[in-house]
């Protein structure tokens, strides 16, 4: 059903919502992680980033929401140029989901999901309880809000982490290898939630090795290598066009 809906969707993408222009990032010790990245994501678009280990994918995501400072170039999010002054406003627009779920072990699922809205938005208990129930339902975890992370499977914990990111009502979601730490049988349930979000029109940047997801859900795919975006294309041509030599070489390594 979901696959069919995705296959038949005719998407009209909106204005640019994320823009990176000439972004460079060097880590202490001289590692050049981003070597002049130009990348543009439009509203409603799902951009999938693939690439070898160490090519700069995580750093790129972290630069979009200001978790890393850039050395040169410019990042814009929803019309704001990222700077010290705009960083907090941008972070409220951008939800991020990591490989390791990063849930607080001493808080229940609801406690984890509603922590930021309680602190930042100063929502009342009643507001947050209602919102948490809605979010738990959205990620398929109705009724499990009272459980602590250790009482949930890896897939369930990651879905709580997605609900937590959604609780701030972001306009953009970044996923950094969100399924890489999961047992194989739990990967599908998390990808399904990500697909649903894509269908609802969320703008997303997804770093993943899940090529099925990339093909089915991605509007565009970008290959990173050595701190640069080296190829970009629509999923069909990305996987099938023999001219995408570097993509073929990378895929032959991982598939």
- Name which of 16 and 35 has its Cβ closer to ligand ATP: 35
Rounded to a whole number of angstroms, the CA Rg of the chain reads 18
Which residue is associated with the tokens 């002054």? 85
Give min distance, CB of 99 to ligand ATP, in A.
Answer: 8
Dihedral of alpha carbons 127, 129, 132, 138, sign: negative
- Name which of 56 and 66 has its Cβ closer to ligand ATP: 56
Give min distance, CB of 54 to ligand ATP, in A.
Answer: 4
Written as six digits, the tokens of 74 are 């410019």
- Name which of 50 and 166 has its Cβ closer to ligand ATP: 50
Q: Report d(CA 111, CA 253) in Å as an integer.
A: 41
Determine what percent of the chain falls in helix, strand and coil, rounding each to the nearest 5. 40, 25, 35
Give min distance, CB of 194 to ligand ATP, in A.
Answer: 18
Give min distance, CB of 58 to ligand ATP, in A.
Answer: 3
- Name which of 58 and 179 has its Cβ closer to ligand ATP: 58
Q: Report d(CA 168, CA 147) in Å as an integer.
A: 21
DSSP label at residue 152: S
- Name which of 136 and 190 has its Cβ closer to ligand ATP: 190
Q: Report d(CA 95, CA 130) in Å as an integer.
A: 20
The binding site for ligand ATP (CB under 6 A) comprises 27, 29, 31, 33, 51, 53-59
Give min distance, CB of 56 to ligand ATP, in A.
Answer: 4
């Amino acid at each position: 059903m979901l696959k069919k809906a995705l296959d038949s969707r005719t998407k009209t993408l909106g204005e640019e919502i994320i823009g990176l222009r000439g972004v460079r990032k060097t880590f202490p010790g001289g590692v050049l992680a981003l070597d002049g990245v130009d990348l543009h994501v439009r509203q409603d678009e799902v951009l999938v980033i693939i690439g070898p280990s160490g090519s700069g994918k995580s750093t790129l995501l972290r630069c979009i929401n200001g978790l890393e400072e850039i050395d040169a170039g410019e990042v814009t999010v929803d019309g704001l140029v990222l700077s010290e002054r705009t960083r907090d406003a941008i972070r409220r627009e951008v939800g991020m989901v990591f490989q390791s779920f990063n849930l607080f072990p001493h808080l229940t699922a609801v406690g984890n999901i509603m922590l930021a809205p309680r602190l930042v938005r100063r929502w009342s208990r009643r507001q947050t309880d209602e919102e948490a129930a809605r979010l738990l339902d959205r990620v398929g975890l109705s009724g499990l809000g009272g459980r602590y992370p250790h009482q949930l499977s890896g897939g369930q914990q990651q879905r709580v982490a997605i609900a937590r990111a959604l609780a701030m009502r972001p306009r953009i979601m970044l996923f950094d290898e969100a399924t890489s730490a999961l047992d194989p049988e739990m990967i599908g349930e998390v990808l399904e939630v990500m697909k649903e979000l894509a269908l609802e029109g969320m703008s997303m940047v997804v770093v993943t090795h899940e090529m099925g997801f990339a093909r089915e859900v991605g509007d565009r795919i970008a290959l990173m290598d050595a701190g640069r975006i080296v190829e970009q294309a629509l999923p069909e041509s990305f996987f099938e066009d023999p001219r995408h030599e570097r993509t073929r070489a990378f895929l032959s390594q991982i598939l």
